[in-house]
A and B are shown apart, each in its own frame.
Chain A
Amino acid sequence: MSDHELIWRVAGGSGDGIDSTSQNFAKALMRSGLDVFTHRHYPSRIRGGHTYVEIRAAGHDVQSRGDGYNFLLALGDSFARNPQEEAYYGNEELKPLSENLDELREGGIIVYDSGLLSEDDIAELNLEERAEENDWHVFPIDLRAMAKEHGREVMRNTAGVGVTAALLEMDLSHIEDLMTDAMPEKILEPNLEILHDAYEMVQEDYEFEHDLRIPTGDHDEEQALLSGSNAIAYGALDSGCRFIAGYPMTPWTDVFTIMSQHLPDMGGISEQVEDEIAAAALAVGASHAGAKAMSGSSGGGFALMSEPLGLAEMTETPIVLLESMRAGPSTGMPTKPEQGDLEFTLYTSQGDSARVVFAPGTIAEAYEQTRLAFHIAYEYQIPTIIMYDQKLSGENSNIPVSFLDREPDPSLGSTLTEAELAEMPHDASGKFHRFQHDVENGVSPRSLPGQKDGRFLATGNEHTPEGHISEDADNRVAQMDRRIEKLDAIRRELDEEHESNQTYVGDESADFGIITWGSAQGAVVEATERLNDQGHSVKAVGVSDMMPFPEAELTEFIESVDQAMVVEMNATAQFRGLIQKELGRYGEKLTSLLKYNGNPFEPAEIVEGYELNVEGSDAEPTAQVRIEPAAGD
């Protein structure tokens, strides 16, 4: 299935324009009818430091970065700061070439900028020898000189794209169109010239001995290339969210900045504030006053939000929070994904706290579950959290444009109008019963400050129906039961009124199961398909509902297989722990495949994990993953 695909990796230094170049190239591939998936690798540095973007493109659906790649465009790091041999970081200039060779597939293509990398550097790599061994086709091309000739060295990118297109025998029209749209006239001309020069030069001067060509494909409807962060931001906007407050932290910053760029023009408000405690508290205040509001952060910043999160629970103020994970503990690895904050996100904040947590697995799911998160938050007056990570945040894939053509939802859920408020129970003092004990689904409808007949006190202390602070035992039990009851009601609604948030692949009768959550889903889906193609009998489920947990669905899945492997990006098998806690059993049936080196799973690692699991070999996995045996082993 992965026979005819292009996985193009463009590598350079941070600041070399890798991101914009790859974004345009990915769009050009999408426009030519291919499905694309991008993966971004970058260091925690602003300028310099080896970074790459990978674009996988095929005539069929692609949901993960795949294994390895088959085309390297190594631009060289023009910001490299430590070219000395003894420097701690090593030879930085060379890294975009040297660091990437291990994953290049047999028969792959290498284009490198011979203008930036000296012959001595290259000699160090034994490139010739390795190329022969692996049947690589190497094209040293002086991209720098080509760019300089037309004015500016930064245009090495464009030269690289021209070379790529020529080697793949790809038509330039989509690339030209995109450049025309994106570039101001002054730089457009020289860029187009470079593109063509590079293209023609390669066609004329080189012989094509490689097999790789541009794949072919066709879309039956118009596509858009979106990142997970785009999908979440757009899901929020379509849900009527018009207020966001935040404090920058990678990778959550992406959603924050996207929202900030659009909100003012859409009648909304964005606030960058002093810290994350304030950010989440602002979301609470804005929602209390009648706006659809959100905030969010990543690990360390989310830790600070645990206070206002609890306040939202106790005062039953709807808010949506984002938790965009990166590797921890503490500041961990700022630009690397991990699924290590699951337990933290589920349980942070004091008391028997209740919140709803979704973990979308794909870009389309990120959009849909964000909309669901707003619906649930405002209908049930409960904080909802969308957990994702640096991987989902930064990866791009194409989805049909029509997918986002959904009705906006400006409803405030269980919020009353003034006419409705007049009919509600009130105290003799005129106070409205904002927190009634006996209501359906645990939801006691709310009023907003400024409304007639709606006066009440919201407090983070335990309180009576009209909001007064109370330590009365009966009232306490009634209020607590009602707040907790919401989770059951939400589970019922999710089961009965919505399509499942869980994603299933493989044959229903398969006897081995793979269970995963969040952004690891794409690689699991692909690995499962591969295993089945190899004649194994495997099915998989990607779980998105973290709380309330989809007990019935997971029980059915686990009951239907002999054994199951839980795949997640952390070292302590947090999701497997959650399954066992929620279902109260299956310790002996579940093993874990764990990865926590800062890079997402590749399908081949999961295939290998399966083999080791099923065949029971003692061999150490070759990839950087760990197998955690079933309980009782």
Chain B
Amino acid sequence: MSAFNAIGDDREIDRNEFTPGLEPQPTWCPGCGDFGVLKALKQALPEVGLTPEEVLTVTGIGCSGKLNSYLDTYGFHTIHGRSLPVARAAKLANDGLEVIAAGGDGDGYGIGGNHFMHTARENHDMTYIVFNNEVFGLTKGQTSPTSPKGHTSKTTPHGNAKSPIRPLSLALTSGATYIARTAAVNPNQAKEIIKEAIEHDGFAHIDFLTQCPTWNKDARQYVPYVDVQESDDYDFDVHDRQEAQEMMFETENALYEGTVLTGRYFVDERPSYQQQKKELGEMPEEPLAERYFDEDAEWERSYDLLERHK
């Protein structure tokens, strides 16, 4: 049994356990898409059978980074762009935990872009939700890596000369094994996708479209979305890298042309980083963190290594 009793607790969980109502109320602006992520998560977690203690949510900085202030799990609100390295180490140290990282598009695709690429490449077993509002929210509306070309803001008064990043394609080429896009305006789909992402063994990336009514009134995220899995117009195999890639490309173009396509784009069974490390003998079978509580654990000493120095 785990030394951490809350891990593996399989009692029935009530959604309210994730929000007993006494934590601070969200400081997000009325109409902010971030409410949609919070709501979807609160619904998804009990449905996959997790208790608040089993879950560690790790966020970056930004409006999105406050997610875990309003969610009653174990939480780590880190620093701008660094949620992924903190999150993946927590999972390595105790893989009994369900680790969910989250942050904004500036946080995840800008300052933390390098970590995104590498966490996906390594295929860490965790879920990563990027709140994509196409703008920097908390610092008041500057252009972000997903802002459309031509976007004007206080830092780009003549319009943004850069083309937006393609987060789904980037996740795919980097090596993520579950890639989806959903939107705050579609809570049911969002909940289902979060559940799948949590249950997926590997790096699950969700590009979560969240409107920012305060700084990005023009964003096309208000228009009705299309669920590519539900629509007859889009037929592709999510397990086929080539087809998924083409579909992502189309989706990413369409967003800036006014059509919001959402759904699952890629699912792959490549073994997770944790699993591979274990197979190679580079990671212990039992969660490392539990050893410190195990009174019978044997602690080898450096003394045992001295032969070569004598």
Q: Is the CB of A285 within 8 A of B86?
A: yes
Let me know if B309 and A225 touch, CB within 8 A.
yes
Asked if B115 contacts A278 (CB within 8 A), the reply is yes
> Is the CB–CB distance between A457 and B88 below 8 Å?
no
Closest chain A residue to B89 by CB distance?
Answer: A285
> CB of B96 within 8 A of chain A?
yes
Q: Using Cβ atoms and an 8 Å threshold, which residues of chain B touch A105?
A: none
- Interface core residue of B78, B91, B293 (most chain A CB under 10 Å): B78
Q: Which of A408, A417, A448 has the most CB of B within 10 A?
A: A448
Point out the residues of chain B lying under 8 angstroms from A279, CB to CB: 85
Distance in angstroms between the alpha carbons of A468 and B25 in the assembled complex: 11
A-B contact count (CB 8 A): 231
Is A459 an interface position by the 8 A CB rule? yes
Please give me the residue from chain A that is nearest to B54 by CB atom: A450
B217: Cβ under 8 A from any A Cβ:
no
Contact of B261 with A by CB under 8 A: no
In the complex, whether B301 has a CB less than 8 A from a CB of chain A is yes
A267 CB–B CB distance under 8 Å:
yes
Stretch at the interface among A45-53, A269-277, A498-506: A269-277
Residues 334-382 (chain A) with a chain B CB within 8 angstroms: none
Instruction: Check if A401 sits within 8 Å of B310, measured CB to CB.
Output: yes
Contacts of B170 in A (CB 8 A): none
Question: When chains A and B are docked, how far (Å) is the Cα of A23 from the Cα of B69?
Answer: 55
Q: Which residues in A have their C-beta under 8 angstroms from that of B87?
A: 285
A607 contacts chain B at the CB level, 8 A cutoff: no
Mask of A405-448 contacts with B, CB within 8 angstroms, 1/0:
11010111001011000000001111100000000000000001
Supposing A243-B93, A286-B93 touch, asked if A223 and B310 sit within 8 A by C-beta, the answer is yes
Q: Are B93 and A452 in contact (CB under 8 A)?
A: no
- CB of B300 within 8 Å of the partner chain: yes
Q: How far is the CB of A463 from chain B (nearest CB, A)?
A: 9
Min CB gap B97→A, angstroms: 5
Structural contact, B283 and A449, CB atoms closer than 8 A: no
Which chain A positions have C-beta within 8 A of B73? 455
Let me know if B149 is at the binding interface, CB within 8 A.
no
B-contacting residues, A556-611, CB 8 Å: none
Q: Is the CB of A267 within 8 A of B97?
A: no
Residues of chain B lying within 8 A (CB to CB) of residue A96? none
Is B53 in contact with chain A by the CB < 8 A criterion? Answer: yes
Report the stretch among B16-24, B175-183, B187-195, B234-242 that lies at the interface: B16-24
Does A293 lie at the interface of the complex (its beta carbon under 8 Å from any beta carbon of B)?
Answer: yes
B52-91 vs A: 1/0 string, CB under 8 Å? 1110101001000010110011111111001001111111
What's the Cα separation between A157 and B282 when bound, in Å?
36
The reply to whether the CB of B186 lies closer than 8 angstroms to some CB of chain A is: no
- In the complex, are the beta carbons of B79 and A307 less than 8 A apart? yes
Contact with B along A236-268 (1 / 0, CB 8 A): 011010110100000000000000001011111
Q: A404 contacts which of B24, B290, B306 (Cβ < 8 Å)?
A: B306
Q: Are A417 and B58 in contact (CB under 8 A)?
A: no
Answer yes or no: A230 CB below 8 A from chain B CBs: yes
A450 engages B86 (CB within 8 Å) = no
**A190 CB to closest chain B CB, in angstroms?**
23
A410 touches B78 (CB 8 A): no
**Which chain B residue shows the least CB distance to A469?**
B69
A469 to B82, CA, bound (A): 18
Closest to A223 in B: B310
Does A457 lie within 8 Å of B75, measured CB to CB?
yes
In Å, the complex CA distance between A378 and B199 comes to: 34
Contact of A242 among B20, B115, B291, B309 (CB under 8 A): B291
Q: Please tell me if the beta carbons of A451 and B302 are within 8 angstroms of each other in the complex.
A: no
Assembly CA distance A237 to B61 (angstroms): 34
Q: How far is the CA of A278 from the CA of B81 in the complex (A)?
A: 10
Task: Please choose the segment from B2-10, B156-164, B208-216, B243-251 that sits at the chain A interface, where 4 or more of its residues have CB less than 8 A away.
Answer: B2-10
B53 touches A452 (CB 8 A): yes
- Contact between A289 and B301, CB atoms less than 8 A apart: no
CB pair B75 A458 closer than 8 Å: yes
Q: Quick check: is B289 within 8 A (CB to CB) of the other chain?
A: yes
* Complex Cα spacing A448 to B4, Å: 9
Q: Is the CB of A283 within 8 A of B306?
A: no
By a CB distance below 8 angstroms, the chain B residues around A404 are: 301-303, 306
Q: Which residue of B lies closest to A470 (CB)?
A: B24
Check if B20 sits within 8 Å of A429, measured CB to CB. Answer: yes
A315 touches B66 (CB 8 A): no
Assess the A224–B299 pair: CB atoms within 8 A.
no
Q: With both chains docked as a complex, state the minimum distance between the C-beta of A345 and any C-beta of chain B, in angstroms.
A: 20
Tell me the residues in window 258-305 of chain B with beta carbons closer than 8 Å to chain A beta carbons. Answer: 277, 281-284, 288-293, 297, 299-303, 305
Partner of A290 from the list B68, B94, B284, B302 (CB cut-off 8 Å) is B94
Interface: A456 (CB within 8 A) = yes
Q: How far is the CB of B62 from chain A (nearest CB, A)?
A: 12
Chain B residues near A237 (CB, 8 Å)? 300-302, 305
Interface size class of B (residues with CB under 8 A): 35 or more
B197: shortest Cβ distance to chain A, in Å?
19
A289–B89 CB distance below 8 A: yes
Chain B residues whose CB sits within 8 angstroms of the CB of A405 once the complex forms: 301, 303
Docked pose: A224 CA to B307 CA in angstroms: 8
- Contact partner of A271 (CB less than 8 A), chosen from B21, B77, B89, is B89
A65 at the interface (CB under 8 A from B): no
Q: Which residue of chain A lies nearest to B288 when distances are taken between CB atoms in the complex?
A: A291
CB pair A461 B93 closer than 8 Å: no
Q: How far is the CB of A226 from chain B (nearest CB, A)?
A: 6
Q: Would you give the shortest CB distance from A308 to chain B, in whole angstroms?
A: 7
Which one of B56, B58, B61, B79 has the highest number of Cβ atoms from chain A below 10 Å of its Cβ? Answer: B79
**A449-B90, A450-B7, A450-B96 in contact; A267/B288 too (CB < 8 A)?**
yes
**Quick one: which of A242, A290, A429, A451 contacts B53, CB cutoff 8 A?**
A451
A456-B74 in contact given A282-B88, A468-B69 (Cβ < 8 Å):
yes
**B118 contacts the other chain (CB 8 A):** yes
Q: Given A223-B310, A429-B20, are A457 and B77 neighbors across the interface (CB < 8 Å)?
A: yes
Given known A225-B309, A460-B77, contact A286–B92 (CB-CB < 8 A): yes
B173 interface contact, C-beta 8 A: no
Q: A243-B93, A456-B74 are in contact. Are A290 and B292 (CB under 8 A)?
A: yes
Does A281 have its Cβ within 8 Å of any Cβ on chain B?
Answer: yes
In the complex, are the beta carbons of A284 and B94 less than 8 A apart? no
Interface code B213-225, partner A: CB below 8 Å = 1, 0 otherwise?
0000000000000
Given the interface contacts A404-B302, A469-B77, does A222 sit within 8 Å of B310 by beta carbon? yes
Determine if A326 is an interface residue (Cβ-Cβ < 8 Å): no
> Nearest Cβ in chain B — how far from A318, in angstroms?
12
A293 and B93 in contact (CB under 8 A), knowing A237-B302, A264-B283? yes
Instruction: Given the known inter-chain contacts A286-B93, A404-B301, A451-B6, please indicate yes or no for A469 contacting B66, CB distance below 8 A.
Output: yes
B77 and A285 form a contact (CB under 8 A): no
What is the CA–CA distance of A237 and B306 in the complex, to the nearest angstrom?
Answer: 13
> Chain A contacts of B293 at CB under 8 A?
417
Q: Knowing A230-B309, A451-B53 are in contact, say whether A468-B23 is a contact too (CB < 8 A).
A: yes
- Does A273 lie within 8 Å of B6, measured CB to CB? no
Alpha-carbon gap, A226 to B310, bound state (A): 9
- Can you list 27 pairs linking A and B with CB atoms under 8 Å apart? A222-B310, A234-B302, A237-B305, A269-B283, A274-B114, A274-B115, A278-B115, A285-B76, A285-B86, A285-B87, A290-B288, A290-B290, A291-B292, A311-B82, A401-B303, A401-B306, A410-B299, A428-B20, A429-B22, A449-B53, A449-B97, A450-B53, A451-B5, A452-B4, A455-B74, A458-B76, A460-B77
Pairs of residues from A and B, 8 with the lowest C-beta to C-beta distance, nearest first = A285-B89, A290-B289, A234-B302, A450-B4, A285-B86, A281-B85, A429-B22, A459-B77
Given A308-B79, A450-B53, 16 more pairs with CB closer than 8 A = A265-B281, A269-B284, A277-B82, A285-B85, A285-B88, A285-B93, A288-B76, A290-B288, A291-B94, A311-B79, A405-B301, A430-B72, A450-B6, A450-B97, A455-B72, A469-B69
